[in-house]
Structure 1
């Protein structure tokens, strides 16, 4: 149920992974029943103040049963939407991006349930006393440019827009590899 959002929705990547409940009442093919979409990318079309570009599956899911294809062919339609808490049904996952090394960890953060967009990601290396902030790279990717190799395993702390902090102890293991996903316990 992926969707692209325009600037106030995608928030220069900080809105990546956020959840919105959407529904339509017109045209006649619309069911009027709400469904949830997940923001996955930016939409650059200046169509409206708030604009979603829905994946075909998500667009069709707003239709009455059997009317999915007709609704998809309707093009631009008016929708109602509201921000909702995410309920992914998956464990938080950290994908160590391709090309990473001990001096340059870059993490794609996925499946964060709850109250809001991720506004900070911090890491603590093995033996470290304090968390160090990562820089927002793009989308849901956060990185650190370090002048010394980090010591693994790494503990990750996520802060959401609503102020919730979650800590994932030793989630990036000592024997980590680039282009690999690590699921939180």
Structure 2
């Protein structure tokens, strides 16, 4: 009998993505920790002072791609309610997908009368300009926290003639329609995974993938912006992704990619944060 118990223990230990406790299976993270189901929602942060400018055209042209890796913010569900954030906020791409509530303050000539705060998604980087000082043209120079809004977004809260206005901002939850979206580009030897339409905190801090056959839980590495990479061969099997946002909440998109998934095709999960 003791031999049977030892064999059962060995078999359970060999299964990397489940553990038996409390009478049922519990999913594990790639590192082997039990996944805690986070209840509640992302809560807004405190208001902070900053400044805002605008870039691109009146229709949002020249703002739909950039340093976060999004190909077209309109197609990705973000529209032109977007912002390029300064280096101090960008965090090497960690801020991408996060949402900010921004309101124009303390500028009677610059703020649009009666304007209410707007919510924008971080989709680009406003690069520093070290040829100019932070007070005159180098608005996005470290350590300044600055918002270079798309022109349609800027004009909702400020006068175009102002050029730059003082603002108050805070992190807020992202409201998204539908589930998290995934698209893989590259080839079977090097996969680039773009994760979009993420609700809650909106940003992506970690991504892991698991196949339905040979691919065990595998952590992806940030390539740039919100593009994640792995050299694991993911072809020929259904894929499940687990996404963690900056507030440490996790969402698992079970079998979101079918066995016959294709490179360059966007697949949408049934759930979000």
TM-score normalised by L of structure 2 = 0.60
Q: State the SS of the aligned residue for 1:161.
A: coil
Counterpart pick for 2:177 among 68, 86, 89: 89
Counterpart pick for 1:12 among 66, 69, 92: 92
Size of the alignment, in residue pairs? 175
Which portions of structure 1, spanning 4 or more consecutive aligned residues, are displaced by more than 4 angstroms?
A: 148-151
Distance in 2, matches of 1:58 and 1:140, equals 22
| Counterpart residue number, 1:123 | 209
| Counterpart residue number, 2:224 | 138
Q: State the SS of the aligned residue for 1:12.
A: helix
Distance in 2, matches of 1:40 and 1:17, equals 6
Deviation at 1:23, TM superposition (A): 0.4
Residues 141, 123 of structure 1: CA spacing in aligned structure 2 closer, same or farther, 3 A cutoff? same
Distance in 2, matches of 1:8 and 1:151, equals 41
Q: State the SS of the aligned residue for 2:190.
A: coil
1:11-41 Cα offsets, whole Å, 9 max, x none, are: 1111111000000032242535211000001
Distance in 1, matches of 2:216 and 2:200, equals 25
Q: State the SS of the aligned residue for 1:105.
A: strand
1:38 aligns with 2:121: yes
Residues 175, 151 of structure 1: CA spacing in aligned structure 2 closer, same or farther, 3 A cutoff? closer
Residues 116, 104 of structure 1: CA spacing in aligned structure 2 closer, same or farther, 3 A cutoff? same
| Counterpart residue number, 1:161 | 246
| Counterpart residue number, 2:200 | 114
CA contact (8 A) 2:240 2:252 kept: yes
Q: Name structure 2 gaps, 5 residues minimum.
A: 1-80, 129-137
Deviation at 1:178, TM superposition (A): 1.7
| Counterpart residue number, 2:103 | 23
TM-score normalised by L of structure 1 = 0.86
Q: Highest CA radius of gyration, 1 or 2?
A: 2
Q: State the SS of the aligned residue for 1:182.
A: strand
Deviation at 1:128, TM superposition (A): 4.8
CA contact (8 A) 2:211 2:234 kept: no
Q: Which range is displaced more, 39-48 or 158-167?
A: 39-48
Residues 149, 20 of structure 1: CA spacing in aligned structure 2 closer, same or farther, 3 A cutoff? closer
Q: State the SS of the aligned residue for 2:148.
A: strand
| Counterpart residue number, 1:56 | 151
Q: State the SS of the aligned residue for 2:162.
A: coil
Q: Which range is displaced more, 27-36 or 10-19?
A: 27-36
